[in-house]
Amino acid sequence: MKNEEILRVEKLKVQFLNREKLKFSARKTGRWKIVLDEISFSIIEGETFGIVGETGSGKSTLARTLVGIYKPKSGRITLMGREINFKKREDLLYLRKNVGIVFQDPVGSLNPRLKIREIIREGLAIEEKLSRIDQDKKIDEISDLVGLADSKLDSYPNEISGGEKQRVSLARALVNNKRILILDEPTSSLDVSIQAQILNLLRKLKDELSITYIFITHDFNVIRYMCDRIGVLYYGQILEISSVHDIYENPLHPYSSDLMNANITLETENKFDSQYEIGEPSRSGCIYLNSCMKKFEKCNISPPEFNVNGRLVKCWLYESGKL
Amino acid sequence: MINIPGVISQEKGLKSELLLVKGLTVDFETFDKKIEVLKDVSLKIERGEVVTIVGESGSGKSTLAQAIIGVLDTPPAFVKRGEIYFDGVRIFPTDGKRVKFRGTGINMVFQEPLVSLNPVYTIRKQLLEAAEIGGIPEKGGEREKVIKNTLTELMIRDVERVLNSYPHQLSGGMRQRAAIAMAVIQRPKLVILDEPTTGLDLIVQRKIMGLLLNLRREINTSLLIITHDLAVAANMADRIYVMYAGRIVESGTRGDIIKDPLHPYSLMLRDSVPTGYKESGPLKVTEGAPPDMSALPPGCPFHPRCPNVMDICRKNIPPLKNIGDVREVACWLYEK
């Protein structure tokens, strides 16, 4: 693994027009609902970076912004040393050429009227100079790699199973040698044994294609198994970034530790009997103020990110930079 | 074929089981084919027991739940054989008599919450009705208090708005919680939950499960939870049934199934759940997918994916055999 930064996100802010006055929206500021609130992180080439968060935390918005589907309000995204200007066509093409995405819903992301081969070919549309024969060659190679039988290439999406659909999505995303692949809940609509097959496949693909993954999920068992580092997202803010071992064995931010405590695995027993409470995000001060068990006076001011032994934590408890 | 120790066949013979399903066989019949969706399924639930059925899509677990409460769509579904007893009374077949068991007897929360909710009434009206069925007195705003408490328990932050909404105005997670609240408020003897936690956040999942376990503590309610998530089963269940291709392939206590699964399919299910870090190596799972129910392979339906397949597995279907007190397994490996 090279220790080179491949993607850097600085103070990324994404906001949506607040059409309804939803009472539970995160940090309302008039007409705009801020979905991602100045988040920063960087990703090292070859790693798997996990983003975990609950419903409404902005995970999928982040994924979509990183491939240029949503435009950020402010902030910078730097991909392999080149800053992306979301208003310039060539920058967006550069982004899409290098960053692929697999969506959660395999049914909704495959065109029902195209054959599988043509769906995968869509991934090559960005490579203008490729002849059709070369395209077919690439399609055959990639479908071999993702374990898609040749006979399926001439089927339509409704004729194949959920696991196969997710393989098609993978093939489409990877057919033109992407550097980064964003996986937005790639297995949560699949059966457990199929999920295990896809997870094994993802790990194999990563070894063979030396690609960088951004893995978004709410499943803590999956994220532990897949990732090197994790960012914990809560209502548009990243509260902690740590290595996966650190965060599972010694979570620093109170929210991370509440999440880890709530996680159930095959080894835990009767965990449902204990009580947990996570309230509404706070509108002023630290965003986790309302639910935090360890709050003190200082928490009325929003904390900056503190660096604790290389881990980033957004909590006043770690102001000294020590554990 | 039916092999449950201590089974009673007369209609009112009381035993401790709350629910008893014997040899249930359900076919789906269409113009051109007949599919056996459930094949000789027998299960029992004791009073106050939490039972989970785990299996993948197409294993027939939802069909089983629908058959128990008698809401199968006929056609295409036809119950071919089998008997169901609830609380000592035969609820299927009823020989034309009307037997009331839904509501305070068996209450079901469907996977799709819109099925449980009436689209033309507000959530408040529906929950108040549930409170009435649950026997909560009307005076002093007692019902209103109970429904608000239940919703708060389920981590609904703006109870008033939810109560005044119609089902279509709520998000999927909110509807799911409203449907679960409706079941809990009626204080039934048995709650059947079909994939109750799919799509819900971890903390909300735990709240729901906590609420159901409270109900068990208070009034000894039994739970039948249908899930594909083995972790939920491991944390909730007293006993687990594993289903594959419309059959029960193994059953036993939580410890049996999670720590020491016998059937190769149960083992594969357990090994499919990632438990370690990246360094722990690939998950032990074989390629292939659950079978197409209209074209089941001959012999054991799991044999094409089974790592321990033998000759006999390709020819004959293994029977479900009792081994130990509460343990059954259907596999030729244990046929001795």
Mean pLDDT by 10 residues, chain B (336 residues): 41 66 91 88 92 89 90 86 89 82 88 87 94 89 91 86 92 87 92 85 82 87 91 90 93 92 93 89 84 87 91 92 88 85
* Size of the A and B interface in Cβ pairs below 8 Å: 131
- The three-state secondary structure class of B264 is helix
CB distance A225–B57 less than 8 Å?
A: no
- Are the CB atoms for B63 and B38 separated by under 8 Å? yes
The residue-averaged pLDDT of A145-149 equals 89
Q: What angle do helix axes A132-145 and A162-174 make, rounded to 10 degrees?
A: 130
- % of residues, chain B, pLDDT over 90: 47
What's the Cα-to-Cα distance from A142 to each of A118, A138, A173, A180, A273, rounded to whole Å? Answer: 13, 6, 10, 16, 47
What's the Cα-to-Cα distance from B263 to each of A79, A216, A277, B251, B255, rounded to whole Å? Answer: 49, 33, 39, 10, 14
Q: Which two tokens stand for residue B16?
A: 């401790």
A229-255 pLDDT per residue, tens? 999 999 999 999 999 999 999 999 999
Neighbours of B110 (CB within 10 A): 21
Minimum distance, in Å, between the CA of residue A152 and any CA atom of chain B: 14
For residue A277, what pLDDT is reported?
63
Minimum distance, in Å, between the CA of residue A12 and any CA atom of chain B: 25
Q: How far, in Å, CA of B23 to CA of A312, rounded?
A: 58
List the single best residue of B62, B206, B242, B249 to mutate versus A (max A Cβ within 10 A). Answer: B206
A72-131 pLDDT per residue, tens? 999 999 999 999 999 999 999 999 899 999 988 888 889 999 999 999 999 888 877 888
Q: What angle do helix axes B123-133 and B142-153 make, rounded to 10 degrees?
A: 110
CB distance A269–B234 less than 8 Å?
A: yes
Residue B98 has φ and ψ, to the nearest 5°, of -95, 120
B81-107 pLDDT per residue, tens? 999 999 888 888 888 788 888 888 999
Minimum distance, in Å, between the CA of residue B219 and any CA atom of chain A: 16
Residue B304 has φ and ψ, to the nearest 5°, of -65, -25
Minimum distance, in Å, between the CA of residue B324 and any CA atom of chain A: 23
CATH 3.40.50.720 fits B11-100+230-334, yes or no: no
- Are the CB atoms for B176 and B234 separated by under 8 Å? no
For residue B2, what pLDDT is reported?
42
CB distance A192–B258 less than 8 Å?
A: no
Surface-to-core class of residue A73, CB atoms within 10 Å of its CB (0-12 exposed, 13-18 middle, 19+ buried): middle
CB distance A264–B235 less than 8 Å?
A: yes
Cβ-Cβ contacts under 8 Å, A277 against chain B:
155
Confidence at A20, pLDDT banded by 50, 70, 90: low
Cβ-Cβ contacts under 8 Å, A221 against chain B:
231, 273-275
A2 or B283, greater pLDDT: B283
Smallest Cβ–Cβ distance between A273 and the set B213, B230, B285 belongs to: B213
For residue A41, what pLDDT is reported?
94
| pTM of the full structure | 0.87
Surface-to-core class of residue B120, CB atoms within 10 Å of its CB (0-12 exposed, 13-18 middle, 19+ buried): exposed
**What does the domain layout of chain B look like in residue ranges?**
11-100+230-334
Minimum distance, in Å, between the CA of residue B20 and any CA atom of chain A: 25
Distance of CA B291 to the CA centre of its chain: 21
For residue A276, what pLDDT is reported?
59
pLDDT at A273 over 60: no
Rounded (10°) CA dihedral A75, A79, A80, A81: -30
Cβ-Cβ contacts under 8 Å, B57 against chain A:
162, 191
List the single best residue of A266, A270, A271, A291 to mutate versus B (max B Cβ within 10 A). Answer: A266
B198-239 pLDDT per residue, tens? 777 888 888 888 888 888 888 899 999 999 888 888 888 999
Cβ-Cβ contacts under 8 Å, A245 against chain B:
277
Q: Give me the sign of the Cα torsion angle A286, A288, A290, A296.
A: negative
Average pLDDT, chain A: 87
pLDDT at A228 over 90: yes
Q: How far, in Å, CA of B140 to CA of B130, rounded?
A: 17
Confidence at A21, pLDDT banded by 50, 70, 90: low
Cβ-Cβ contacts under 8 Å, A23 against chain B:
158, 161
CB distance B203–A280 less than 8 Å?
A: no
CB distance B230–A194 less than 8 Å?
A: no
